[in-house]
Copies of this chain bind each other. A is one copy, B any other.
Amino acid sequence: MFKANITITLRPSILDPQGKAMQHALHDLGHASVAQVRAGKHIEMLIEAASAAEAEHVATKACEQLLANAVMEDFAVEIEELESAPVA
């Protein structure tokens, strides 16, 4: 069993009103040192696979086909091997 940690971020050229709203709220709370905020998605996926390479292939396909918007978003996949299988 492998765990894929997937990070999906807006491309730098895409405006991020959600991040801007967070930044303004942080300034109002007194955190003037926060110069920029960008909001993205973090997805954790448990994958049954024979190897880390196979798990990475599945996670990458999942991003391309469903999770990420290729026009506006970039994604990164990190794979770690799990000893046992946690199930929620």
Residues on A facing B (Cβ under 8 Å)? 1, 7-9, 12, 16, 19, 22, 25-26, 29, 31, 33-49, 58, 61-62, 65-67, 85-88
Q: Decide if A88 touches B43 in the complex (CB within 8 Å).
A: no
The prevalent SS among residues of A at the interface is: mixed
Which chain B residue shows the least CB distance to A38?
A: B44
CB distance from A70 to the nearest CB of B (A): 15
Interfacial chain B residues near A29, Cβ < 8 Å: 62, 65-66
Closest 9 CB pairs of A and B: A42-B42, A36-B46, A40-B42, A35-B46, A38-B44, A33-B48, A7-B42, A37-B45, A33-B47
Interfacial chain B residues near A65, Cβ < 8 Å: 29
